[in-house]
Amino acid sequence: MSLYSFGTDPISCHAWNQDRTQVAISPNNNLVQIYQRSDNEWKKIHELTEHNGRVTGIDWAPTSNRLVTCAADRNAYVWSLRDGAWKPTLVLLRINRAATCVKWSPRENKLAVGSGSKIISVCYFEKENDWWLSKHIKKSIGSTILSLAWHPNNVLLAAGSSDFQCRVFSGYVKEIDDKPSPTHWGTKIPFGELLFQSGEKGGWVHGVAFSPSGRYLAWVDHNSCVSVADSAEDKAVTRLSTEYLPFLSLLFVNECQLLAAGHDCAPYLFSYGGSGKLDFEAKIDVQKETTKTALSAMSHFRNLDKKGAKESERSDVTTLHQNSISQLSIVDGDPSDVTAFSSTGIDGALVIWSLKA
């Protein structure tokens, strides 16, 4: 476990490059900052300033080394490193509300952007005009898209939204995709086809994730539930109601285990053993020692700001993160056997966790 602090500003999203020597973060504003690891420290080497609204999503394509960012300014940019500088290319999203999340497809030839327009923009590069075009998925979406995840086959796309639903759509783009093979999620999959929908009147769906094989789809929502759908079992849904605060992000660490984290400030491990068998395994955290030390006035108020607390409140947070965790990402290992992962939070910290026994 390694803890790194990037200041008191919340980290709203982050993404790693291929060899995990660089990380891109957004300190909850319109900037994207890229840091280079040097020994046990991080040095800022680039700052991307094209957005004029709060950055809501970052994804880094490992093979092509391209960054994609989206923001509340209703724009998304694909960034390429040329001559030591990151150059942006505008993505034509055609939306009239904020962009809320973005994900590269596994083959890095498409990207998906969720928005407050009740739309998912599936974007691809058109060489003839040298720009990124978008096609819209609108079917059945009743509110803002909060999270996205691509299926390993590069075609299916899962989306969680604030209408309490988790859905799976077809993101097949005939201009660039090979004809996909049938899956348990569906056989006929023209662009925009709705293949799965599930949800309760319990809360916004904050995070979605496919298992490494694509058989399982997991999601977390604001009613503190973790849910898993099994496509091979007629898309049967297993739901586990937890006693914890709502989760905001989740990540499969192998085919049958997943991590979830959010407002409880720590990652939690769950295991799925088939229909009806979704269990809590462990809380992954290092208890922080509480030591009483004399603080300067500046340090005292900085700590209050970091925790979002009032001076009259007594809140000793014993978890490593001192505020909600906003995102989980893979750091080491194959998606089918993750050995290390990272978390970023509202406390401005990045933590790298080891899953090795």
DSSP labels for 277-301? -EEEEEE---PPP-------HHHHH
Helix (H, G, I), strand (E, B) or coil at 179: coil
Listed ranges 201-205, 214-218, 306-310; the one with the highest mean pLDDT? 214-218
Cα gap 306→162, rounded to integer Å = 27
pLDDT above 90: residue 354: yes
- Predicted local confidence at residue 1, as pLDDT: 81
Query: Band of the pLDDT at 293, cuts 50, 70, 90?
Result: very low
**More confident position, 307 or 333:** 333
Q: Lowest-confidence range among 190-204, 207-221, 294-308?
A: 294-308
Q: Give the CA angle between residues 112, 118, 123 to the nearest 5°.
A: 20
- Predicted local confidence at residue 356, as pLDDT: 79
pLDDT tens profile 43-53 = 999 999 999 99
Mean pLDDT of all residues in 130-150: 94
- Predicted local confidence at residue 286, as pLDDT: 73
Instruction: Tell me the CB-side half-sphere exposure of residue 153, using CA atoms within 13 A.
Output: 22
Q: What is the mean pLDDT of the chain?
A: 91
Cα gap 100→112, rounded to integer Å = 11
Q: 306 φ, ψ to 5°? A: -65, -35
pLDDT above 60: residue 295: no
Mean pLDDT of all residues in 282-287: 84
- Predicted local confidence at residue 68, as pLDDT: 98
Helix (H) or strand (E) holding 306: helix 297-307
pLDDT above 80: residue 232: yes
- Predicted local confidence at residue 292, as pLDDT: 41
Query: Band of the pLDDT at 290, cuts 50, 70, 90?
Result: very low
- Answer for the pair 258, 250: CB distance below 8 angstroms, yes or no: yes
State how far the alpha carbon of 41 is from the alpha carbons of 38, 46, 60, 119, 355, in Å.
5, 16, 21, 40, 22
pLDDT above 90: residue 330: yes
pLDDT above 80: residue 160: yes
Query: Band of the pLDDT at 291, cuts 50, 70, 90?
Result: very low
Cα gap 246→263, rounded to integer Å = 6
pLDDT tens profile 298-324 = 666 666 666 566 655 555 778 999 999
pLDDT above 70: residue 20: yes
Helix (H, G, I), strand (E, B) or coil at 10: coil
Mean pLDDT of all residues in 196-219: 92
- Predicted local confidence at residue 308, as pLDDT: 64
